[in-house]
Structure 1
Amino acid sequence: MSEKSPPSHASVDGEKRDVLQIVPGSDESVNRGDSEPSDRILSTKIDFRILPILGLLYLICFLDRTNIANARIAGLEEGLNMPSTGYNTCLWIFYIPFVVFEVPSNMVMSWRRVRPNLWLGSLTFALGVLAMCQGLTRSYGGLLAIRFLMGIVETALPAGCAFLIASYYRKKELSLRFAIYYSFGQAGACFSGLLAYAIMDMEGIGGYEGWRWIFILEGLLTIVFSIPVLLLVPNFPDRAKWLKPAEQAALVARLEADKGEAKKELSFSDWKQVAMDYRIWLLTTLFFCADMSAGSLSSFNPTILSQLGWTAKRAQVMTIPVWIIGIVGGIIAALGVGKYNNRTAYILPSILFSILGWVLNYLQIDPPAVRYFAQFCISLGTFVQMPLYSGLLMANIRGKAAVSFGSAVQFGIGNCANFVASNVFINTQKPRYPVGFGTGLGITCFSFPLMLVLVGLFWRHNREYDRKVAAAIAAARDGGQVETTWDDQVYYRYVM
């Protein structure tokens, strides 16, 4: 890493600010263009180009990932004569490739000769073909093979989208953008329930059962959507030809001011260094804890609701409000973070909401409306946490290697929670599911002290950082020697 002289910033007094040499990354490091209309116009232009296409891509991924839960209560298990644990196996086998291929896929996407639109578009097309094949297979073994191949294809899509989003936005902008991105995924789950409600009436058309049409039509939708992905997904900021030259220069400049100058080429030592970063692994573990709840909702919510006394068709529709509360809660929390710049104040209460939902489900409190309310608590708590964990990680790491590796690990290892969720809801234990609800409760409870550990570590780092900043300011005022060896890729203030 190269040594840099810290940039000039104003002092923190209320008096007229003198220009001082202090450490990069200080809270006093203000981009003066932030308040200019041109800066806001550029941010809005990026929002309209980045968020709709990547958000819709995540919606499609979530649709193809969760529609098996809708197909289950529409007759999937009976149609393929699946064993008692067959549905669980179909779930966890999908996530095996997430562990193996997530990091390599983001490494490929970081190569300068790889264009994100071609990479993501081709994988979206392949995902659609495989999703359709789920509705055409005639055997349980065939379904397992298709699910595994779908996992290989889909592993690059959510992490690749997160990598691209993190590349375009400054630290203070990330939480809201990730909340919007995640809300598209939850909308996909809503859309899946609504589609399943309508498609179930296609029973017998073309000689196919209704559950087959769920897979076939939603897979066809994915294939069609691969075309706008190919056309609209942009390149990385330093190659963003869709921006005017002045806009591209302004974007790159403000990103470098916020995150430090990005390396053009990444060495093995860069990847090795970020692989040892405790922030990545702690925030991945927290994401894992939250994703246990998300995985349980996406895979078993229709099943659980159908066991509260509703018909299969009504249970499909009743899943929709559960997802909507997560969307609304996540966006409101992200707006609050943008205003007050405090993620911890939203994360800790949201963990408690999730814990309440798991407790109500574990105790099986009657009437059934109480357990339905429990699903809302889990959804609200979970989908406040997940975008904030992603935003917190991306805001606290710098450099293309760190962002690429961090987003891949968080989505890849974090999604391993689906292995757990897929295997603890045992069919023979329905409707009480003591192992499933007990495991979800335990993992969610674990996230609370873990978050406190993260806050403590960040606080200790920032206290030392502030001490160095104060010493630098004092030395500059006294005309003394100011340390000039701080590297803004390594040493900067963490956001919490």
Structure 2
Amino acid sequence: MAQEKFSADAVTQRSSDESAEIPSPPSNYVYKLDLRLIPVLGCTYTILFLDRTNIANARIEGLEKGLNMPTNGFNTCLWIFFIPFVLVGIPANLIMGLPRVKPNLFLGASMLILGVISMCQGLTHTYGGLLACRFLMGFLEAILPAVAALLISEYYTRKEQPIRFAMFFTFGVLGPLISGLLAYGIRRMNGIQGKEGWRWIFIIEGLGTIAISFLVFLFVPDYPEKTTILSGAEKTHLLEKLRLDKGDQKLSFKDVNWFAVFTDWKIWLPTMMFFCCDMTAASISSFTPTILTQLGWKAERAQVMTIPIWVTGFVFELGAGILSSRTGWRFPFILFGIILATIGWSIQIVYSDSKGLAAGTRYFSLFAMSAGTFLQMAMTTSWMTNNLRGRASIAIGVAIILGFGNCANFIASNVFIKTEAPFYPTGFRTGLGVTIAGAAFCLLHVALLWWHNQKLEKKRADIGGEDDQHEYRYQY
């Protein structure tokens, strides 16, 4: 495999002679990329979280009664979705690596079919039919975030990535926010065409997914080396900038050491961190509307009261991404997010043991959990891709972190036991334990990165050398 020498950081850290080899950028084309990539790819993540949360909104509008679901039926609807979701991400990104596969066609077709199946949730008249729809949706939704995250990592340098991943993941926060707004309005459609309000939630949001799929067909670009959204000079500058920052991203998949990729601790430790923070995300996505109704608010008000929770996650996620891009640090922000989530879970535990709970205090805890978990999700993904080299490693990495990382949904969908409502002691204690485990994985990860860098610096002090495709400094 050819090895190309490149800097650990951007062009500015190379000698003036080497930097002169790269022509000055003909324009500030990064903003052109932002406008073309982030909104349309972000919408794919919005759809993922919209479909996670709309079933929670439908639940308080009568879904369980309407389909005569068993006691644990709602929990089953949640976890069955993630069986195919975990399995499909890696094959999807491997398919994306094939030379004749175009991202816009692959993503667009997946979203189009997803929208149709999503609508069918509102048309089915049996519990089994709903389970079938949820299972099929898991296959299609696994493709969306994995492919989108891969494209983002392909177009931006390591310094540019944190804020872009933050923007991408904030679109995910928009999913439950929009779902709450839509559910508030759609519930008034109850009885139209003889359909209950919860059916219209699925039908209308499925139509929205179909509409967005056409935007994906039209606007999602190809890989950087094949892109047509930049001029020739802009494309040349982008490819050279990426090569100097991250090495050869276009290495053929057939030359990859797949065992090394699939056993890379730089993939699996961030995945475990993502898993732990996603426990919080899955819990508040699936159960917040229900918890709010059990705190005494009626269904209509509960739908609206979910919105500020997601806005808080949006603000913290985006703010941390901006600061991370400016400072170059990742793990301090992740630890801060873990502390916030820990505070939220702790409050819920205290009041789950007390019959004299204050609804306002438990409501506040949901804000801390939202801020902490969504901050971590974007930062952890960015941190992982920053320390990987080559398209194959990043393709597998983002598929694993977004696929296996979402396995927390299996836990979240089974520890909130209906008979324990409204205190859910099992669910809240499990959430706290998993969150603390995330802190341990984070500290272990940064310790291993530091250890690697110390060894590398000692080696280079003795024999010299610079970062290349296989030996390079890791980022904290």
* Amino acid of the structure 2 residue aligned with 1:360: I
Q: 1:362 to 1:43 in 2, by over 3 A?
A: same
* Amino acid of the structure 1 residue aligned with 2:2: S
Q: Deviations over 1:17-76 (max 9, x none)?
A: xxxxxxx4268962658x998377121111111101111222123212320010000100
1:111 Cα offset (Å): 1.0
Q: 1:130 to 1:26 in 2, by over 3 A?
A: closer
2:475 is the alignment partner of 1:495: yes
Structure 1 equivalent of residue 312 of structure 2 = 325
* Amino acid of the structure 2 residue aligned with 1:135: G
1:470 Cα offset (Å): 3.3
- Report the secondary structure of 2:334's partner residue: helix
Structure 2 equivalent of residue 386 of structure 1 = 377
Structure 2 equivalent of residue 441 of structure 1 = 432
Kindly indicate whether the alpha-carbon contact (under 8 Å) linking 1:27 and 1:493 is maintained by their aligned counterparts in 2: no
1:306 Cα offset (Å): 1.1
Kindly indicate whether the alpha-carbon contact (under 8 Å) linking 2:256 and 2:392 is maintained by their aligned counterparts in 1: no
**Unaligned residue ranges in structure 1 (runs of 5+):** 8-23, 474-482
CA radius of gyration, larger in: 1
Once residues 123 and 24 of structure 2 are traced to their aligned partners in structure 1, the CA distance between those partners, rounded to angstroms, is 54
Kindly indicate whether the alpha-carbon contact (under 8 Å) linking 1:2 and 1:487 is maintained by their aligned counterparts in 2: no
Once residues 278 and 60 of structure 1 are traced to their aligned partners in structure 2, the CA distance between those partners, rounded to angstroms, is 30
**1:215 corresponds to which of 202, 206, 211:** 202
- Report the secondary structure of 2:360's partner residue: helix
Q: State the percentage of identical aligned residues.
A: 48
Kindly indicate whether the alpha-carbon contact (under 8 Å) linking 1:26 and 1:492 is maintained by their aligned counterparts in 2: no
Kindly indicate whether the alpha-carbon contact (under 8 Å) linking 2:3 and 2:469 is maintained by their aligned counterparts in 1: no
* Amino acid of the structure 2 residue aligned with 1:237: P
Q: 5 Å matches for 1:25-424?
A: 25=8, 30=13, 32=19, 38=25, 41-267=28-254, 269-364=256-351, 366-424=357-415
Kindly indicate whether the alpha-carbon contact (under 8 Å) linking 2:467 and 2:473 is maintained by their aligned counterparts in 1: no
* Amino acid of the structure 2 residue aligned with 1:278: W
1:194 Cα offset (Å): 0.3
Kindly indicate whether the alpha-carbon contact (under 8 Å) linking 2:121 and 2:203 is maintained by their aligned counterparts in 1: yes
1:263 Cα offset (Å): 3.5
- Report the secondary structure of 1:243's partner residue: coil
Once residues 337 and 205 of structure 2 are traced to their aligned partners in structure 1, the CA distance between those partners, rounded to angstroms, is 32
* Amino acid of the structure 1 residue aligned with 2:13: V
Deviates more, 1:96-105 or 1:116-125: 96-105
Once residues 321 and 174 of structure 2 are traced to their aligned partners in structure 1, the CA distance between those partners, rounded to angstroms, is 17
Q: 1:111 to 1:334 in 2, by over 3 A?
A: same
Q: 1:374 to 1:59 in 2, by over 3 A?
A: same
1:115 Cα offset (Å): 0.2
Once residues 419 and 247 of structure 2 are traced to their aligned partners in structure 1, the CA distance between those partners, rounded to angstroms, is 54
Once residues 270 and 425 of structure 2 are traced to their aligned partners in structure 1, the CA distance between those partners, rounded to angstroms, is 28
Once residues 59 and 99 of structure 1 are traced to their aligned partners in structure 2, the CA distance between those partners, rounded to angstroms, is 18
Q: What is the aligned residue count?
A: 468
Structure 2 equivalent of residue 431 of structure 1 = 422
Once residues 384 and 27 of structure 2 are traced to their aligned partners in structure 1, the CA distance between those partners, rounded to angstroms, is 24
1:467 Cα offset (Å): 2.3
* Amino acid of the structure 1 residue aligned with 2:237: A
1:149 Cα offset (Å): 0.4
Once residues 27 and 158 of structure 2 are traced to their aligned partners in structure 1, the CA distance between those partners, rounded to angstroms, is 15
* Amino acid of the structure 2 residue aligned with 1:446: A
Structure 2 equivalent of residue 469 of structure 1 = 460
Structure 1 equivalent of residue 450 of structure 2 = 459
- Report the secondary structure of 1:171's partner residue: coil
- Report the secondary structure of 1:38's partner residue: coil
Once residues 81 and 323 of structure 1 are traced to their aligned partners in structure 2, the CA distance between those partners, rounded to angstroms, is 31
Q: 1:225 to 1:277 in 2, by over 3 A?
A: same
Kindly indicate whether the alpha-carbon contact (under 8 Å) linking 2:10 and 2:241 is maintained by their aligned counterparts in 1: no
Once residues 24 and 437 of structure 2 are traced to their aligned partners in structure 1, the CA distance between those partners, rounded to angstroms, is 45
Deviates more, 1:45-54 or 1:263-272: 263-272
**Unaligned residue ranges in structure 2 (runs of 5+):** none
Kindly indicate whether the alpha-carbon contact (under 8 Å) linking 1:71 and 1:214 is maintained by their aligned counterparts in 2: yes
1:384 Cα offset (Å): 1.0
Kindly indicate whether the alpha-carbon contact (under 8 Å) linking 1:357 and 1:375 is maintained by their aligned counterparts in 2: yes
1:471 Cα offset (Å): 3.6
Q: 1:215 to 1:3 in 2, by over 3 A?
A: closer
